[in-house]
């Protein structure tokens, strides 16, 4: 097949960029002609994608909302020049036969966030041009008669799309994100202790790990507040990800735990942090299916996250982690942290973590995706 993959951002270290790289390279390795349409500069995008993949830069301009809209309009214009290609979009766009909802359902995210906002902030959220643009594109996407299949990366996202947009369940497929099994694998306890020491923590010190960019949405405030209330005053919090650490460092200092929090910034390799940590904590407000959770489990690291995270379907409470009903439930979060700071290196817990995601790999994800693309191509008579 000739496949056009649409993704606004191509470069970067986030989960979306990782998914794009594995899918595009996997499709090309399977013999398909793959061209990525993105808004990044051509040279940087081609370096990120690697050999064997085509790249077409899409012009965008204006602020965040206008850039999304101009990307959608301009990529449609460019695709009209190559009508024989199957269009596989990883963005909310105006033309596609297959859409992968890797970013989840924006209407659901706003609905989950609203109760945590002040009345003024709720009004601002409803009026913000970026949200209005995303909701417009999302609604139009699911109403498009040319859309043949939708891929959700969790059962949570599938349910959200059906509930909010009434999409026919027969057109939806759940395909979980894959895992790079060479990177994300467990270490023996002694090796993990040595790695922890090399990262700057005493070998026996319990470490809570937080990985994610966009600290507010990922619930870092709730995690720091819980850290400050723990009876275990030896535990550390490592924060890996892109955002402004200042407000969170000041919060930790005000709670008397500032010396126990370390901000690492974004890291190109996160596996060593999972392998060295006692547990991962991600009290997120909303995540369609956090790669962070899957990667941590693959390293044998127990996870505490929320019911708003699609990756929670791989967490078995009491066995390899806990699921919080609400991200701001301080008592439940504190209890979960206490439990897994004690049990984090229990061999039974580590084994249950790894077994939960044992079936996930990028080869399977690509193969399942190809099946869906072939179904859509047959119905659309393109590709």
Q: How far apart are CA 346 and CA 176, in angstroms?
A: 27
| Rounded (5°) CA angle 198-199-202 | 75
With respect to residue 7, please indicate whether it lies within any of the assigned structural domains.
yes
Number of domains in the chain: 2
278 and 169, same domain (yes or no) = no
Which bin fits 109, alpha (ψ -120 to 50), beta or left (φ > 0)?
alpha
172 and 221, same domain (yes or no) = no
CA quadruple 66, 69, 74, 75: dihedral positive or negative? positive
pTM for the whole structure: 0.93
Q: Tens of pLDDT along 72-115?
A: 999 999 999 998 899 999 999 999 999 999 999 999 999 999 99
With respect to residue 338, please indicate whether it lies within any of the assigned structural domains.
yes
Q: DSSP code of 327?
A: T
171 and 240, same domain (yes or no) = no
147 and 291, same domain (yes or no) = no
Q: With beta carbons less than 8 A apart as the criterion, state whether 62 and 359 touch.
A: no
208 and 70, same domain (yes or no) = no
| pLDDT score of 12 | 79
With respect to residue 184, please indicate whether it lies within any of the assigned structural domains.
no
Q: Tens of pLDDT along 222-279?
A: 999 999 999 888 999 999 999 999 999 999 999 999 999 999 999 989 999 999 999 9
- DSSP character string of 257-290: -GGGEEEEE--S--HHHHHH-SEEEE--S-BSS-
Domain region containing 280: 189-356
Examine the pLDDT at 15 and tell me if it is beyond 90.
no
64 and 33, same domain (yes or no) = yes
User: What rounded mean pLDDT belongs to the chain?
Assistant: 95
For residue 121, count other CB atoms closer than 10 A to its CB: 12
With respect to residue 183, please indicate whether it lies within any of the assigned structural domains.
no
With respect to residue 235, please indicate whether it lies within any of the assigned structural domains.
yes
318 and 372, same domain (yes or no) = no
264: CB partners within 8 A, 6+ apart: 238, 239, 240, 273
| pLDDT score of 13 | 72
**CATH assignment at residue 276:** 3.40.50.2000
Examine the pLDDT at 3 and tell me if it is beyond 70.
yes
199 and 337, same domain (yes or no) = yes
Examine the pLDDT at 121 and tell me if it is beyond 80.
yes
pLDDT-based confidence at residue 18 (cuts at 50, 70, 90): confident
With respect to residue 36, please indicate whether it lies within any of the assigned structural domains.
yes
Q: Tens of pLDDT along 178-198?
A: 999 999 999 988 899 899 999
165 and 228, same domain (yes or no) = no
CA quadruple 229, 235, 241, 244: dihedral positive or negative? positive
212 and 287, same domain (yes or no) = yes
- In percent, the amount of the chain with pLDDT more than 70 equals 100
260 and 274, same domain (yes or no) = yes
Q: Tens of pLDDT along 322-368?
A: 999 999 999 999 999 999 999 988 999 999 999 999 999 999 999 99
With respect to residue 120, please indicate whether it lies within any of the assigned structural domains.
yes
Examine the pLDDT at 204 and tell me if it is beyond 90.
no
| pLDDT score of 383 | 64
| pLDDT score of 269 | 92
Q: With beta carbons less than 8 A apart as the criterion, state whether 293 and 303 touch.
A: yes
Examine the pLDDT at 382 and tell me if it is beyond 80.
no
With respect to residue 330, please indicate whether it lies within any of the assigned structural domains.
yes
54 and 169, same domain (yes or no) = yes
């Amino acid at each position: 097949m000739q496949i056009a993959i649409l993704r606004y951002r191509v470069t970067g270290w986030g989960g979306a960029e990782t998914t794009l790289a594995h899918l595009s390279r996997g499709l090309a390795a399977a013999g398909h002609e793959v061209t990525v349409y993105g808004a990044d500069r051509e040279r940087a995008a081609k370096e990120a994608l690697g050999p064997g993949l085509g790249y077409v830069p899409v012009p965008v301009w204006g602020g965040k909302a206008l850039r999304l809209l101009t990307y959608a309009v301009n990529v449609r214009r460019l695709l009209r020049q190559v009508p024989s290609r199957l269009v596989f979009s990883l963005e909310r766009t105006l033309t596609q036969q297959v859409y992968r909802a890797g970013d989840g359902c924006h209407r659901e995210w706003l609905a989950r966030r609203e109760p945590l906002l002040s009345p003024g902030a709720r009004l601002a959220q409803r009026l913000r041009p970026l949200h209005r643009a995303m909701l417009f594109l999302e609604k139009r996407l699911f109403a498009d008669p040319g859309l043949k299949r939708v891929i959700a990366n969790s059962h949570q996202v599938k349910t959200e799309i059906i509930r909010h947009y009434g999409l026919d369940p027969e057109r939806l497929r759940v395909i979980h994100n894959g895992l790079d099994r060479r990177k994300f694998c467990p270490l023996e306890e002694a090796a993990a202790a040595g790695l922890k020491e090399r990262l700057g923590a005493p070998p026996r010190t319990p470490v809570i790990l937080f990985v994610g960019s966009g600290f507010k949405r990922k619930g870092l405030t709730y995690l720091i507040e819980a850290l400050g209330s723990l009876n275990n005053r030896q535990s550390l919090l490592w924060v890996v990800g892109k955002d402004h650490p200042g407000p969170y460092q000041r919060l930790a200092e005000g709670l008397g735990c500032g010396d126990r929090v370390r901000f690492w910034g974004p890291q190109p390799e996160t596996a060593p942090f999972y392998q060295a940590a006692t547990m991962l904590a991600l009290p997120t407000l909303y995540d369609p299916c956090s790669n962070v959770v899957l990667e941590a489990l693959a390293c044998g690291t127990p996870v505490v996250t929320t019911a708003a995270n699609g990756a929670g379907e791989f967490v078995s409470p009491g066995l390899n982690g806990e699921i919080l009903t609400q991200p701001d439930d301080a008592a439940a979060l504190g209890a979960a942290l206490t439990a897994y700071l004690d049990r984090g290196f229990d061999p039974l817990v580590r084994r249950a973590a790894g077994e939960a995601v044992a079936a996930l790999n990028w080869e399977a994800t690509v193969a399942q995706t190809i099946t869906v693309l072939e179904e859509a191509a047959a119905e659309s008579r393109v590709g």
